[in-house]
Amino acid sequence: MTLMRPLKHQHSASILIVDDERLNRATLAELLQPNYQVLLAKNGDSALEIARDECMQLALVLLDVSMPGMSGYEVLQALRADTRTAHIPVIFITGKSDEAAEEYGLRLGAADYVSKPIRPAVLQARVKNQVDLFLRKRELEHLALADGLTGLANRRHFDDVLEQAHRRSSRSGEYLGLALIDIDHFKQFNDHYGHLQGDDALRAVAGAMRQHAQRAGDCAARYGGEEFAFVSLGTKESLPTLVENFRQSIQQLRITHSASATGQLTVSAGVVVCGPHLRTSVPELLAAADQLLYQAKSQGRNRMVQQVWE
């Protein structure tokens, strides 16, 4: 796999080009790279692997029909059979011009057909149409995946991101970090100040989380009630540093909390960081982060307890 990231691009979405001919891949990449993030695959197997790993951001697949091994038709069938990639639109790039081949591809679920030799203006227009449609659909889906009160990712979306990051870590060589965070004595806060101020406090915490989760590999979520979560790909220090900075920023908000030992709203966090080559499961990571959060609370709250697995 080759990943190309342009200096400027119009969309926060990626296009995967699949072709067994290097020249064809390079030509298409050069045509699209000024406006899009471009991923390249030279065969069906690598295309499916990339599509599964990048399914959250992949807006379109440009797929050659005739390839050795797995054909473009077979790749499309595999994409449609996987719930992670079934939604990704596919445009076939083909030298075949007969109607039967085009009809077959469309029946399999292709969004469009582009015939070789490529006409750049036509390809760009068709790609733009498909990417724009994808982004509109993604915006609607985002509303369903966002927590209504805070605007952060909801639990369903966070679970999906965590699963994707877990798969991606070993391939990218990055450490996978997971943090579970809880507002200290939040029930007492609600009881004393009322639920309206409680909601304001939740939104304030969410706003601070959003400011700290700025990298492409970061995800901040409302995990449930007064509990929040971070997932991040990076170095072993990336997420612990992010979480500690976030914890301190909550103190700096100076939200009065009479039931807290500090007199202010604070948070506790459990952080587990897993090395890219360590075999572990998502449930194990969640259980570890939850146990570390419990330790942070039992040690007096308003702190982070972390663990690195290598």
Q: Which residues are catalytic?
A: 226
Token pair of 83, please? 């719930």
At residue 102, what is the residue type?
A: E
Alpha-helical regions (H) of 82-180: 99-108, 120-145, 155-172
Judge contact between 149 and 222, C-beta under 8 A: yes
Distance CA 79, CA 73 (A): 10
DSSP 146: B
3-state secondary structure of 68: coil
276 SS3 class: coil
Enumerate the β-bridge partners of residue 58.
14
CA 236 to chain centre: 19
